[in-house]
Chains A and B, each alone.
Chain A
Amino acid sequence: MLKKPEALATLESAGIHRAGRWLVRGVSMSVDAGEIVTLIGPNGSGKSTTAKMVLGILKPDEGRAIRKTDLRVAYVPQKLTVDWTMPLTVSRFMRLTGHVSDDEAMSAMSSTGISHLAGAEVRNLSGGEFQRVMLARAMARRPDLLVLDEPVQGVDFTGEIALYDLIKRIRDEMHCGILLISHDLHVVMAATDRVICLNGHVCCSGTPTAVASSAEYKALFGARAASSLAVYEHHHDHTHLPDGRVRHADGTVTDHCHSEDGHHHDHDHDGHEHEPHGHDREAKRDA
């Protein structure tokens, strides 16, 4: 998690404070060229907020966000609404933030399987089609850094796997860094180099296998994870209070959580068990 000189974008202990509470705090991470970094975490855990700090849409209230100079960015936001008053075809949408040649536009559209929609109006597309259009638009920019906020929402399961394959191929072909936000670690696992597990702060990070065996996934995703990754056990052992402080399982309250928090593997415990705390409730709602 240390800053690397060639990192495309880096956060150093960055946090966003809004309306009296920290949305995320103390996030340190980086995205390198040719690397896929996945942010996972329940709803409200600050995934999108973190991505927006990386992109420079939100300025950290604490810590720093650093981007390489002249970084070419492409962003697929979680939510994008095209008003009916706006006449906007797919091929015009491809050129929304910069010139794209016809060849590049066509090859991006055929990679995502939407070349037949070039002349269609964006507002008439289905949710899944629109996600592909957004991905094609981002690809056609040939970015250094590609940020995808839940890129497969509204896409059916087979399409989902195809899109993750495509994301991996984009990384391989363009050698760009990709920051991916996802709910479904078990689907993105194969395509991810590094996973950062967020829950208002960085709970843990590492390769997908390491994160999975630290069992963060299971604790955050509860029932859904139980079916596929039932072997892992994990509890959050601390609760984030509204004022940003942290209450630990033993009842003490501190300003920050410690790096070892949330990393207690069951085999590490000498005959005692932490009670689940507030995060578990969130995790269940999310599942």
Chain B
Amino acid sequence: MLDDFFTRAILAGIGVALVTGPLGCFIVWRRLAYFGDTLSHAALLGVALAFLFEVNITLAVFGVSACVSIALLLLQKRATLSADALLGLLAHSALALGLVALAFMTWIRMDLMGFLFGDILAVSKTDIAVIWLGGVVVLAILAAIWRPLFAATVNLELAEAEGMNPERANIIFMLLMAAVIAISMKIVGVLLITAMLIIPAAAARRFAAGPEQMAVLAAVIGAVAVIGGLFGSLEWDTPAGPSIVVAALCLFVLSILPIFGRTGAKPAEPDGGSPRAHKGARP
């Protein structure tokens, strides 16, 4: 069964979607979309370093992404720049460094497009093993830190005061993100990983009554998008990675259509107008 490239692609894609769905929920809840982008841009530097030192690409990408996460944590504590400026700085510096480093290695003829957009149709049995094993580990760790991580997402100080150790949960979460970028880069490419994190989670929001339910739904929607995208790509001869994202987008659009009964996903109030802002400020 695994000898068929299309079957391998579907298995790999579903494996990635099952992990990006739940993690993507936290990206959406914490408004970290740009953080996902930053890590995936930095992944290209990991690829370049992997070629340079002849180490495993997945490991190198994980290492670089983890370093970028930690750098971000440290810079946020010290620097005076805002978080989004720091993310932009890290994202594009890492991307540019990666491209420059690759250009220096003239002996390497690599398919840059493959890394930018992924090559899901070329996954090997080893890739599938890495994705599923890595995915199980990531999900197990996520389950273990779920309560403190979710509590910290709702309110960091409350979690801290009630002994949830949110700092530790946050660091572990960042490392999980780095791991997910590393194992899913080959499937959808560095430019589209953020889409697999955000779109299934956004589509799941409308139908979820609780955070755990939203995580499971996001995983399922991601898997459906992978299957739909791959069959679409086969049918219309479109590139596989982008087709998966387009399929996810279609599911999201379906989810916001008013034909479904639930009213959970009314559009957000204008930025900052969240309904739960209690401040003791008096005029």
Interface residues of A (CB under 8 A from B): 43, 52, 55-57, 73-75, 77-89, 92-93, 96-98, 121-125, 127, 130-131, 141, 147, 149-150, 153-154, 183, 286
Shortest Cβ distance from A19 into chain B, in angstroms? 11
Note all chain B residues with C-beta closer than 8 A to A153. 278, 280
Note all chain B residues with C-beta closer than 8 A to A55. 157, 160-161
Note all chain A residues with C-beta closer than 8 A to B209. 87, 89
Q: Are A123 and B150 in contact (CB under 8 A)?
A: no
Chain A residue, CB-CB nearest to B278: A79
Q: Are A86 and B154 in contact (CB under 8 A)?
A: yes
Tally of chain B residues near chain A (CB < 8 A): 39
Give the total number of A-B pairs whose CB atoms are below 8 A apart.
113
Q: Is the interface of A mostly helix, strand, loop or mixed?
A: loop
Q: Are A73 and B163 in contact (CB under 8 A)?
A: yes
A79 with B277, Cβ < 8 A, contacts A85-B29, A86-B154, A92-B211 known: yes
A87 with B205, Cβ < 8 A, contacts A77-B155, A92-B210, A97-B159 known: yes
A43 with B29, Cβ < 8 A, contacts A55-B161, A97-B159, A97-B164 known: no
Q: Are B274 and A83 in contact (CB under 8 A)?
A: yes
Note all chain A residues with C-beta closer than 8 A to B158. 75, 77, 80, 96-97
Q: Are B161 and A75 in contact (CB under 8 A)?
A: yes
23 contacts between A and B (CB under 8 A): A55-B157, A56-B160, A74-B162, A75-B161, A80-B154, A82-B154, A82-B275, A82-B276, A83-B29, A84-B274, A84-B275, A85-B202, A87-B205, A87-B208, A87-B210, A88-B154, A89-B210, A92-B210, A97-B158, A97-B162, A121-B264, A123-B276, A149-B280
Chain B residue, CB-CB nearest to A182: B280
Chain A residue, CB-CB nearest to B160: A57
A87 with B160, Cβ < 8 A, contacts A92-B210, A123-B276, A127-B278 known: no
Note all chain A residues with C-beta closer than 8 A to B210. 87-89, 92
Considering the chains assembled together, what is the distance between the CA atoms of A67 and B8 in angstroms? 56
Q: Are B154 and A130 in contact (CB under 8 A)?
A: no
Shortest Cβ distance from A175 into chain B, in angstroms? 19
